[in-house]
Structure 1
Amino acid sequence: MPVPVPNLYPPFNIVRLSHIELVVTDLAKSRAFYVDTLGLQVTHEGNREIHLRALEERGHHCIVLCLGDTPRAGHLGFKVYDEGDLDRAEAFFGAKGLPTEWVERPFQSRTLRTCDVQGVPLELYCRMERLPPIHQQYALYKGVKPLRIDHFNCFSPDVDESVAFYNEIGFRVTEYTEDDVSKRLWAAWTHRKGGVHDIAFTNGRGPRLHHVAFWVPHPIAIIDLLDLMATTGYVGNIERGPGRHGISNAFFLYVRDPDGHRIEIYCSDYQTVDPDLEPIKWDLKDPQRQTLWGAPAPRSWFEEGSLFDGVTPKAPILEAQPIVAP
């Protein structure tokens, strides 16, 4: 199916991705990983949750770790332009027959709880508590030196349907992988903020969270993290990389947190702000699609992901198989 023409005048205005909620089974272990190892900053800590932000962010949090019995993803958070956009979003999702609910969230203004066409839990808000800048407090730069949250990637059982839905609310495709036989989308990268993606979709059993990514200042920060993880008991948590993606041109590393949630460390992609930017097409069998240097991803990367809370995944429509590492 062809990539949809960009919708430059969506029914409401999403500015960017904002934050993610992850359910973890041991807050102490998760804190050691996200704070002491990755280097995220604690902005609030309670008995059952920890709020964190990255070093360039002024908003209160980009990730919320919540204590629970089983690991899962709670919701994906997006910031909208103004309060009117929240009301327009409520009308849009309601007209689609999707659930809407106004919920209270600490450190956020009124927040709309809903889901996308595949059932991915979404929360939209306009204002978040602002904190003093810390990007020049270099004594705080630890671990991989995370600067900001960059994107989400989700397994989708129907990537064409996911892309069409997000296109309707203003997300533009930057790059995509097409199956040469069926001509269906196998994966697609879509954005609002002017990078390669705010949210991407990968063909697979879903919806499930594939990963959440954090932007770092340079590739050397990734090498530093690998040395740190290899000597502090986390060598088994290193899943894939380091490497350079063909898609996005980004330097990357994939690691798993203590509960198996996948985290990508990411830098060096490119600007996509022009509304008439043409998306880049990749063939599913191109070995440089996954990694510019040709190394394929492990099977776990295509099969394992985090369940969304209360959402039952479905088998994908497309059965095409990418190149998998032996």
Structure 2
Amino acid sequence: MDFNIIRTGRAVLNVKDLERSKAFYVDALGFIETEADDRHVYLRGLEEHNHHSLLLKKAEEPSVEVIGYKVYDDTDLERLDRLFSQKGLEIRWMERGTQHAVGRTLRVQDVSGLPLEFYAEMETVERMLQRYDLYKGARVQRIDHFNCMVRDVEKAYEFYTKELGFACSEYTAAEDEKIWAAWLHRKPSVHDVAFMNGNGPRLHHIGYWLSDQMSLIHACDVLAAMGYTENIERGPGRHGLSNAFFLYLRDPDGHRIELYNGDYLTSDPDFKPVRWDINDPRRQTFWGHAAPDSWFNEASAVQNVLAPEKLMETGEPTLKQRKPTFVI
């Protein structure tokens, strides 16, 4: 590859009530509010030195505007432009100054219909890692990954590994060894993005890294004390895939957030992807309660990058839907 995608960078979510959303993300989960106005709230984790990793925008209906990846420099954007143009994908440039705190960006509808954004520059701010007096809620540290529901996981897998330079850490194999789900990374952890077989394209969740497992448990106490018990959708528990300790939440607009800790290093060039059989009950939950139907069926609608007022149409997956049996 002649371009360098570094990591998962930011997400832009449309929400109906900014104050209600801010209360959930800042007061309950402990995000740092970098800036806000009457139509935007810019949020980051305690560890993050970039201006934001989550942008909430006021809108009539909830949706996902883009999921973003940081690249090494602006020349990478030009090279990605050439690749996407060769593949016949729809591209939109956002010039410097059109988005607050972010430099020039390249937006594209990927092969699955997901709205991607690539950027090299974002304003830097004070890192709050050692401002322990500001730690509250889940003590969110940094953005970690996206999880997306797509109609054809193998198609997404082939494009991201062969064209964008992602590596696979783990995958779920269905009948005839077809890929039912895949965990792909650029940074040396389990994933920057995962693809799951399902009605898509949709964003299943955004994963945020916590420094320790007790922060996740503490988040449950805080959420319950603040009246957010019903927002806890699944967990706490441990995934078989990725080995991560997890908690899934739904924000006031239904967007799903995963609080996440405990995966592993994947930097070695001889690392071999871990295969999980679709019938292995430990793959989704190593231990913990069964996931509700909503976890398998519900996800956030995504926008068209060329016509943001339009949502991408979804379709049925190419492989059969499966709800695993869990170890309780």
Q: TM-score range with shorter-chain normalisation?
A: over 0.9
Q: Is the 8 A contact 1:86 1:125 kept in 2?
A: yes
TM-score by length of 1: 0.94
**The one of 176, 192, 208 aligned to 2:171:** 176
- 8 Å contact 1:157–1:314 — kept in the other structure? yes
CA contact (8 A) 1:11 1:92 kept: no
Alpha-carbon deviations, 1:230-284, whole Å to 9, x = none?
A: 1211111110000011011110000100011010000010011112210000011
Would you say 1:226 and 2:183 are equivalent positions?
no
What is the aligned length?
316
1:5-47 Cα deviation digits (max 9, x unpaired): xxxxx24210001000011010010000000000001111011
Please, which of 25, 28, 38 is the counterpart of residue 47 of structure 1?
38
Deviations 1:93-126 (A, max 9, x none): 1111011221132111111111210111111111
Query: Given that residues 54 and 148 in structure 1 are in contact (C-alpha distance below 8 angstroms), is that contact kept between their aligned partners in structure 2?
Result: yes
1:324 deviates by 5.2
- C-alpha separation between the residues in 1 aligned to 2:43 and 2:132? 17
Q: Which residue of 1 aligns with 2:3?
A: 12
User: Equivalent of 1:138, from 110, 132, 142?
Assistant: 132
Letter in 2 for 1:76: I
Residue 320 of structure 2 is matched in structure 1 by 319
Distance across 2 between alignment mates of 1:11 and 1:120: 23
Aligned-residue CA RMSD (Å): 1.3
**2:236 paired residue number:** 242
Q: Is the 8 A contact 2:107 2:117 kept in 1?
A: yes
| Equivalent residue number for residue 61 of structure 2 | 70
In 1: Cα distance, 2:321 partner to 2:301 partner: 22
Cα distance in 2 for residues equivalent to 1:254 and 1:197: 17
Q: Which of these residues, 194, 197, 201, is aligned with residue 191 of structure 2?
A: 197
Question: Is residue 208 of structure 1 aligned with residue 217 of structure 2?
Answer: no
Q: Which among 103, 106, 110 is matched to residue 109 of structure 1? A: 103
Aligned to 2:259: 265
Match of 1:286 in 2: 280
Residues in 2 aligned to 1:102 and 1:194: alpha-carbon distance in whole angstroms? 29
Q: Distance in 2 between matches of 1:295 and 1:44?
A: 38
Amino acid at match of 1:228: V
- The 2-side partners of 1:324 and 1:106 are apart by 45
Choose the corresponding residue for 1:154, options 135, 148, 157.
Answer: 148
Retained in 1: the 8 A contact 2:85–2:91? Answer: yes
Letter in 2 for 1:234: Y
Q: Which runs of 4+ in 1 moved over 6 A?
A: none
Give the deviation of 1:228 after TM superposition.
Answer: 1.2
Which moves more between the two structures, 287-296 or 301-310? 287-296
Aligned to 1:4: none
2:294 to 285, 297, 300: 300
Looking at structure 1, the residues matched to 288 and 91 of structure 2 have their Cα atoms a distance apart, in angstroms, of 44
Q: Could you list the per-position Cα deviations for residues 206-237 of structure 1 after superposition, in whole angstroms to 9, with x for gaps in the alignment? A: 01000001000111111111111112111111
Q: CA deviation at 1:320?
A: 4.1
Distance 1:148 1:212 in 2: 11
Question: CA separation in 1, counterparts of 2:224 and 2:257?
Answer: 16
The letter for the 2-side match of 1:116 is D
2:14 match: secondary structure:
strand
Q: Distance in 2 between matches of 1:295 and 1:228?
A: 21
> Does the CA contact (< 8 Å) of 1:287 and 1:295 recur in 2?
no
Following TM superposition, by how much is the alpha carbon of 1:186 offset from its aligned partner in structure 2, in angstroms?
1.1
Q: Is the 8 A contact 2:238 2:288 kept in 1?
A: no
Aligned-pair identity in percent equals 49
- Residue in 2 aligned with 1:7? none
Specify the SS of the correspondent of 2:9: strand
- Distance (Å, rounded) in 2 between the aligned partners of 1:272 and 1:18: 19
Contact 2:232 2:249 in 1 (8 A): yes
Asked if structure 2 preserves the Cα contact closer than 8 Å seen for 1:298 and 1:324, the reply is no
Q: For 1:248, what is the secondary structure of its paired residue?
A: helix
Q: What do the CA deviations read for 1:74-96 (whole angstroms, capped 9, x no partner)?
A: 10111111111110011011111
1:97 aligns with 2:98: no
- Preserved contact between residue 238 and residue 256 of structure 1 (Cα < 8 Å): yes
Instruction: Give ranges in structure 1 of 5+ residues lacking alignment.
Output: 1-9
Paired amino acid for 1:219: Q
* TM-score, normalised by the number of residues in structure 2: 0.94
Corresponding residue SS for 2:241: coil
How much does 1:298 deviate?
1.7
Structure 2 partner of 1:59: 50
| Structure 2 counterpart SS, 1:296 | coil
Aligned partner letter, 1:273? S
The aligned residue for residue 308 of structure 2 is none
Structure 2 alignment gaps of length 5 or more = 304-310
